[in-house]
Amino acid sequence: MKYIQKSIFTLVLLLSTITFSQQLKIYGTPRPGNLLLGIAKNAKNVMLDNKTLDFDTLGVFIFGFDRDEKGTHTLKIKFKNNKSISKKLKLKKRRYKIQRINRMKQALVTPPKRALKKIKQESLMMKKARKKVGKLKVPYFEQGFIRPVKGGNLTGVFGSQRILNGIPKSPHNGLDINVPKGTPVKAAAGGKVLIAGNKFYYNGNFVLIDHGFGLTTVYLHFKKLNVKTGQMVKKGDIIGYVGATGRATGPHLHWGAKWYNKRIDPMSLLNLNSPDKRSVIKNN
């Protein structure tokens, strides 16, 4: 699939970059778990702390902060005229909820020994798939993001501490959306399917999509998949149907996001759909 057209999402971002030879704009809020989007017209190099970031010919780039990240970070842009802009981004504090889930099958809380080999193999498969993250140099996310399912209630929020049957577990790294079994699930943005997994112990049937520049989203617990590993998808394509496979107490969609290995709140992706209202840095 060729990346040809720019969407209204991109056009809105570029409206104010037409007349200036150099300019930096950042959209989003710098806090743990958030993804931010930037535009640096005529950029030559973009760096966050010591990491060099990808950007396209229009100067569009993204970066994010992990759930547990703290402190102040430096964004530095060097332009083609050799001038540069450096900005300090101080992360706002974020508090997370505690979520208790009882009456879960004990085998999903503490897996039996017979399942450990399967879990290890699946973990290796995920690591192999994620090694490809960062190699896709096409920013499919420029077309904006959509909510993967219509309706439903949020039964699990990003970053919450999970206590399963009284046992503390890892934080919840996504959103749980309670919708009926069989509900179509759409790709939040275009990209490449890194892995379409079947019957994983924890994930169940799931899809992992690479949107370019290190951004991925994952969709868990499908009843049925509608895509295959390696397939290219467009924003809004149906990638599967809601189910309750894997570690799930009932039908729902778990939607997660990462920027490289940093855990990202999917809600911060949706917030970027109105960038004109969320600019936190403007330099002319």
Tens-place pLDDT, residues 178-201: 999 999 999 999 999 999 999 999
Q: What's the pLDDT band for 99 if we cut at 50, 70, 90?
A: confident
131 Cβ contact list (under 8 Å, min separation 6): none
* DSSP SS3 for 195: strand
Per-residue tokens: 114: 């017979």
Task: Identify which has the larger pLDDT, 95 or 125.
Answer: 125
Residue 113: phi, psi to the nearest 5? -55, -35
55 Cβ contact list (under 8 Å, min separation 6): 40, 43, 46, 61
Q: What is the mean pLDDT of the chain?
A: 87
Tens-place pLDDT, residues 133-175: 999 999 999 889 999 999 999 988 888 877 877 777 778 899 9
- Answer whether residue 14 shows pLDDT above 60: no
Give the model's pLDDT for residue 276. 55
Q: What's the pLDDT band for 79 if we cut at 50, 70, 90?
A: very high
Which stretch, 109-113, 163-167, 273-277, has highest mean pLDDT?
109-113
Give the model's pLDDT for residue 161. 76
Q: Is 110 exposed, middle or buried (CB count within 10 Å of its CB: 0-12, 13-18, 19+)?
A: exposed
Give the model's pLDDT for residue 126. 96
Q: What's the pLDDT band for 6 if we cut at 50, 70, 90?
A: low
Q: Is 284 exposed, middle or buried (CB count within 10 Å of its CB: 0-12, 13-18, 19+)?
A: exposed
Alpha carbons 216 and 167: distance in angstroms, whole number: 29
Domains (ranges, CATH) in the chain?
Answer: 8-94 (2.60.40.1930), 98-269 (2.70.70.10)
Residue 152: phi, psi to the nearest 5? 85, 160
- From first CA to last CA, the distance across the chain in angstroms is 36
Percentage above 90 pLDDT, the chain: 67
* Lowest-pLDDT range of 80-89, 137-146, 180-189, 269-278: 269-278
What average pLDDT score do residues 222-244 get? 97
For residue 259, what is the enclosing H or E element? strand 253-259
Q: What's the pLDDT band for 237 if we cut at 50, 70, 90?
A: very high
Percentage above 70 pLDDT, the chain: 88
Give the model's pLDDT for residue 177. 97
Alpha carbons 49 and 43: distance in angstroms, whole number: 17
Q: What distances in angstroms separate CA 205 from CA 13, 172, 244, 281, one per listed residue?
A: 36, 18, 9, 40
- Answer whether residue 1 shows pLDDT above 50: no
57 and 80 Cβ atoms separated by less than 8 Å? no
35 and 28 Cβ atoms separated by less than 8 Å? yes
